[in-house]
């Protein structure tokens, strides 16, 4: 269990609650009776939620759990996900409503209405079809936050192909392993991206990644920076030429409710990322339901902004699928929050009158660091709901968010969920819940979660343990791409006798039975809300010729939640290390995985603490990394190792 996570520490000091405002409650989408309604008949509740979608063929069964843990939702139903996110709004007369207020980092902008979105998605769908993409084929997308990323995802959904979006910051090696694992036929990328005021190449990285990649037939390149790019005549196509030549008409086909929608890779406890598989009907139902209720979203009135990147699940569920299914008008911003100045987000909120803002604790803490006076310069009075996701939010950041961004008025919803859950699972409901800074509080109506002990028994109020999900939910992952065994082993074996889904998070109940998330209990780190496995970074380190052995831990960090700290044993000939060696290793990891995985700190050590069976005791290394008294060493094969490490670090070796 994470020792004294910030959330737990603050739990002891911050115990205010914020009851909902009566005016807000009166107009809120969510109603208090939803909990009882869902409890009394879960299937009827979800059936009602699914009615918010357009089904070409209605389902015959709400959920089929007979082959657990492989779920089927809305069995027999048929729908087209892209039609639900785009066409039906145009058909209902909202073609002129802006779907996306896109804001480019250099200051260029583009407003895209639902009618225009439909044309763009149809063109892209026709383009993919012209290249021979068929239902179930995989299309990898590595793009920054530009509208084409959304067009491409919806185009895949429209023709029943699966997208696999790879975060733009991932290295060629990381992209390649994902392309290979998914056997992607098409890769969509851009010439380059704007990052902190400068154009950085994208296509060059993709070319490096795809050297000899057998599955890839075509690479489609969006022109963004206009920089020269290397070109492979028989493989590469410009997005604007390819889609520009296509018709804006495309008749959407209805696919089975369980038709695969996408794969999204995420870090697990082993070095190899897992391709999390999501399907259509249940997924879209849950993301639409949660987006409407958790954010109190009102189509045609609200301006919504989720600051995530589409490379992560938050971008999939709460930029693309949930909001568009709900006919949202949303801001999509290409750049970093401090380009060209630290008030960029607040400027955008003021300009577009953003009313719902959804971001991550790490960014909130960064805003705090930049200073209260920055948001104070802008008119943020349009905001009415604030959301948080990605890691436990410390109460101090929660209260700052409400005060300095929400003007002391807005509900703050701390939403717990995962790539695997597809949609929000635990969160307050604005207008219903009296919120508590730092707590995600209760499973949403229709969702069931428990905190259990080692044997799977629910702990009493006030107790802590592991978070489990004890009943299937519509947007649950349907598996790990190509690896059913790993799916069962990772999520369902820990509490197999109870049939619980093991989330990998520690949690506790307070005395009211509200849930507080305490961080990961496995070897997954959470750095700025990004999941990175310790094993992945260790593999990157040992792939460097000077490294004999490496152990990596996540140490608590005031801004990023956790920071990556690596303990490295160098090979004999390179044993001296020094600052230059440290820098080289940090860069090596960035090159192997991506800059987000760059260790904050690397310590050269003579030995690593191991148990008699050879397992590295990361707990002890975490003690060192967090400057704590080293804990119990009795299970170490050689109990003097920790002294050796500490002594070496003190003497600077
Ligand atoms: C963590 C992001 C506490 C958690 C949507 C989870 C959170 C992992 C919260 C999933 C929250 C996410 N409070 N912890 N509100 N939200 N987490 O797959 O450890 O990128 O298991 O999905 O982030 O990260 P993922």
| Mean per-residue pLDDT of the chain | 94
260-266 and 162-165 beta bridge pairing: parallel
- Rounded to two decimals, what is the model's pTM? 0.93
Closest ligand 1 atom to Cα of 312: 20
The interface pTM score, or ipTM, of the predicted complex is 1.00
Pocket mutation for ligand 1, best pick of 505, 525, 527, 562 (most atoms within 8 Å of C-beta): 505
Question: The tokens 């429209």 sit on which residue?
Answer: 158
Task: With a cut of 60, say whether residue 74 has pLDDT above it.
Answer: yes
Task: With a cut of 50, say whether residue 319 has pLDDT above it.
Answer: yes
**Least confident interval from 280-294, 341-355, 583-597, 601-615:** 601-615
Distance in Å, CA 525 to ligand 1 centroid: 11
Distance in Å, CA 416 to ligand 1 centroid: 6
Residue 634's pLDDT band, with cuts at 50, 70 and 90, is confident
Query: What is the token pair recorded at 115?
Result: 């009618």
Task: With a cut of 50, say whether residue 3 has pLDDT above it.
Answer: no
- CB 166, CB 178: distance < 8 Å: yes
Cβ of 491 less than 6 Å from ligand 1: no
Task: With a cut of 60, say whether residue 256 has pLDDT above it.
Answer: yes
Distance in Å, CA 526 to ligand 1 centroid: 8
Cβ of 517 less than 6 Å from ligand 1: yes
**Least confident interval from 2-6, 85-89, 119-123, 233-237:** 2-6
Residue 10's pLDDT band, with cuts at 50, 70 and 90, is low
CA quadruple 285, 287, 289, 294: dihedral, nearest 10: 170
Helix (H) or strand (E) holding 469: strand 464-469
Which pLDDT belongs to residue 4?
A: 46
Task: With a cut of 50, say whether residue 653 has pLDDT above it.
Answer: no
Task: With a cut of 90, say whether residue 642 has pLDDT above it.
Answer: no
- Average pLDDT, stretch 25-31? 98
- CB 92, CB 114: distance < 8 Å: no
Interval 399-417: pLDDT, tens? 999 999 999 999 999 999 9
Which pLDDT belongs to residue 613?
A: 75
Distance in Å, CA 503 to ligand 1 centroid: 10
Task: With a cut of 90, say whether residue 468 has pLDDT above it.
Answer: yes
Cβ of 477 less than 6 Å from ligand 1: no
Closest ligand 1 atom to Cα of 530: 20
Task: With a cut of 80, say whether residue 11 has pLDDT above it.
Answer: no
**Least confident interval from 13-22, 164-173, 240-249, 340-349:** 13-22
Q: How many CA atoms lie within 13 A of 466 on its CB side?
A: 18
Interval 334-378: pLDDT, tens? 999 999 999 999 999 999 999 999 999 999 999 999 999 999 999
Closest ligand 1 atom to Cα of 504: 21
Cβ of 475 less than 6 Å from ligand 1: no
**Least confident interval from 124-128, 146-150, 638-642:** 638-642
Residue 418's pLDDT band, with cuts at 50, 70 and 90, is very high
Nearest CA to ligand 1 atom 13: 392
Report how far Cα 459 is from the mean position of its chain's Cα atoms. Answer: 29
- Cα gap 319→317, rounded to integer Å: 6
**Least confident interval from 425-429, 531-535, 601-605, 644-648:** 644-648
Interval 435-458: pLDDT, tens? 999 999 999 999 999 999 999 999
Reported residue count of the chain is 653
Cβ of 391 less than 6 Å from ligand 1: yes
Report how far Cα 72 is from the mean position of its chain's Cα atoms. Answer: 23
Interval 264-304: pLDDT, tens? 999 877 768 899 999 999 999 999 999 999 999 999 999 99
Which pLDDT belongs to residue 645?
A: 83
- Average pLDDT, stretch 73-92? 98
Cβ of 531 less than 6 Å from ligand 1: yes
In 72-179, the DSSP E strands lie at 72-75, 78-79, 98-103, 109-113, 138-141, 162-165
Which pLDDT belongs to residue 631?
A: 83
Query: What is the token pair recorded at 558?
Result: 């005031």
Interval 534-552: pLDDT, tens? 988 998 998 999 998 899 9
Cβ of 526 less than 6 Å from ligand 1: yes
Which pLDDT belongs to residue 1?
A: 38
Which pLDDT belongs to residue 389?
A: 97
- Average pLDDT, stretch 462-476? 97
CA distances 245 to 122, 126, 241, 601, Å, are 12, 9, 6, 51
* b/e 403-427 (16+ beta carbons within 10 angstroms → b): ebbbeeebbbbbbbbbbbbbbbbbb
Task: With a cut of 60, say whether residue 126 has pLDDT above it.
Answer: yes
- Average pLDDT, stretch 143-170? 97
Task: With a cut of 70, say whether residue 13 has pLDDT above it.
Answer: no
């Amino acid at each position: 269990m994470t020792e004294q996570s910030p959330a737990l520490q603050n739990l002891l000091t911050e115990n205010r609650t914020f009851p909902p405002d009566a005016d807000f409650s009166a107009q809120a989408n969510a109603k208090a009776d939803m909990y009882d309604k869902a409890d009394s008949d879960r299937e009827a509740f979800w059936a009602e939620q699914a009615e918010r979608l357009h089904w070409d063929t209605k389902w015959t069964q709400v959920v089929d759990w007979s082959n657990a843990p492989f779920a089927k939702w809305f069995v027999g139903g048929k729908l087209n996900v892209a039609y639900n996110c785009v066409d039906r709004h145009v058909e209902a007369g909202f073609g002129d409503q802006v779907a996306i207020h896109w804001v480019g980092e250099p200051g260029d902008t583009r407003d895209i209405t639902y009618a225009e979105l439909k044309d763009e998605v149809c063109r892209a769908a026709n383009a993919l079809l012209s290249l021979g993409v068929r239902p179930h084929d995989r299309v990898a997308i590595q793009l920054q936050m530009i509208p084409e990323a959304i067009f491409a995802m919806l185009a895949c959904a429209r023709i029943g192909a699966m997208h696999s979006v790879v975060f733009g910051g991932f290295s060629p090696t990381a992209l390649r392993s994902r392309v290979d694992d998914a056997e992607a036929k098409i890769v969509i990328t851009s010439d380059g991206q704007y990052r902190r005021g400068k154009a950085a190449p994208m296509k060059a990285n993709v070319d490096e990644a795809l050297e000899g990649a057998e599955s890839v037939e075509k690479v489609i390149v969006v022109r963004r920076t206009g920089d020269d790019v290397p070109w492979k005549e028989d493989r590469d196509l410009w997005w604007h030429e390819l889609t520009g030549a296509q018709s804006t008409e495309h008749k959407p086909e209805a696919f089975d409710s369980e038709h695969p929608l996408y794969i999204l890779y995420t870090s697990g406890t082993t070095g190899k990322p897992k391709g999390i598989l999501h399907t259509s009907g249940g997924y879209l139902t849950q993301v639409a339901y949660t987006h409407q209720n958790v954010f109190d979203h009102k189509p045609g009135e609200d301006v919504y902004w989720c600051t995530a990147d589409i490379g992560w699940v938050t971008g999939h569920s709460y930029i693309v699928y949930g909001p568009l299914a709900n006919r949202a008008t949303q801001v999509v911003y290409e750049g970093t929050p401090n380009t060209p100045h630290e008030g960029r987000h607040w400027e955008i909120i003021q300009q577009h009158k953003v009313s719902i803002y959804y971001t991550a604790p790490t960014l909130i803490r960064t805003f705090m660091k930049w200073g209260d006076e920055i948001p104070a310069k802008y008119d943020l009075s349009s905001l009415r709901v604030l959301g948080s996701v990605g890691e436990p939010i410390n109460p101090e950041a929660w209260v700052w968010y409400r005060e300095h961004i929400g003007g002391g008025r807005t509900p703050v919803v701390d939403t717990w969920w995962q790539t695997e859950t597809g949609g929000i699972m635990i969160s307050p409901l604005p207008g219903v819940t009296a919120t508590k800074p730092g707590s995600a509080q209760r499973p949403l109506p229709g969702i069931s979660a428990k905190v259990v002990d080692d044997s799977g028994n629910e702990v009493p109020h006030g107790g802590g343990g592991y978070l489990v999900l004890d009943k299937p939910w519509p947007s649950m992952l349907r598996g790990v791409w190509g690896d059913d065994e790993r799916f069962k082993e990772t999520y369902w074996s820990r509490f197999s006798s109870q049939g619980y889904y093991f989330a990998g998070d520690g949690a506790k109940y307070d005395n009211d039975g509200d849930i507080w998330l305490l961080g990961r209990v496995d070897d997954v780190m959470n750095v700025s809300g990004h999941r990175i496995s310790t094993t992945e970074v260790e593999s990157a380190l040992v792939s460097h010729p000077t490294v004999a052995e490496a152990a990596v831990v996540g140490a608590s960090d005031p801004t990023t939640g956790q920071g990556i700290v690596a303990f490295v044993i160098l090979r004999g000939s390179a044993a001296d290390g020094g600052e230059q060696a440290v820098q080289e290793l940090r860069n090596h990891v960035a090159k192997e995985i991506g800059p987000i995985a760059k260790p904050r700190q690397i310590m050269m050590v003579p030995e690593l603490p191991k148990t008699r069976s050879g397992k590295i005791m990361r707990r002890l290394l975490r003690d060192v990394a967090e400057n704590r008294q080293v804990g119990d060493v009795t299970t170490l094969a050689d109990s003097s190792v920790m002294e050796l490490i500490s002594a070496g670090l003190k003497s600077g070796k």
